[in-house]
Amino acid sequence: MTVRGADGLLYQDFEKFFIWPKLVGSEWETKCIRAIRDWMFKSSLSAETAFQVLISRAGKDVTKKLSRPDFHLAVADLKFTAPEADGLFKVLDTKQDGELDLEEWTARVYCDLQNPMQMLREIVVQGKLT
């Protein structure tokens, strides 16, 4: 219920009108991780160096952690949609503390050359070869 003429908008109404669609399945996650790895490969970056680049883009060189808004800013060049960036942040933030650190990043984002089993898994998931 929206109250017209009131000084504000109820949170429930705001959320109903502006909520992002929930991403389901693993295809979007695979696509996003693949885009990050492609960027890392083209830029000759290790997972650790790539995280440092994102930290620098967000101006978080002191804290070495990315909040959700910082993450959106840092990955803007990778052309993720806002829901993809948001969903990816939630997947990567395994501690669920609202901040992404190097340990969480490297647990999910790493070079395919060092992890051929992960690349094989992604091919299986993408091709629905289960």
The neighbouring-strand residues paired with 99 are 67
Model confidence band, residue 18 (pLDDT cutoffs 50, 70, 90) = low
The token duo for 69 is: 């808004």
User: E strands, the chain, where?
Assistant: 66-67, 99-100
HSE of 19, CA atoms in CB hemisphere, 13 A: 9
Task: Average the pLDDT over each of 9-18, 57-66, 99-108 and give the range with the smallest value.
Answer: 9-18
Residue from 124, 112, 105, 123 nearest 37 by CA: 112
First to last CA, the chain: 45
> Could you tell me which of 81, 61, 57 has the C-alpha nearest to residue 70?
57
Domains of the chain: 25-126 (1.10.238.10)
- pLDDT, tens digit (0-9, with 9 covering 90-100), for 30-75: 888 889 988 988 888 888 999 999 999 999 988 999 999 999 999 9
Sequence-ordered list of residues with C-beta below 8 angstroms from that of 127, at least 6 positions apart, any chain: none
| Average pLDDT of the segment spanning 20-39 | 78
Q: Is 77 helix (H, G, I), strand (E, B) or coil?
A: helix
pLDDT of residue 10: 78
Q: How many CB atoms lie within 10 A of CB 75?
A: 22
Its pTM stands at 0.68
Average pLDDT on 62-89 reads 92
pLDDT digits (tens, 9 = 90+) for 106-130: 988 876 555 566 566 666 766 777 6
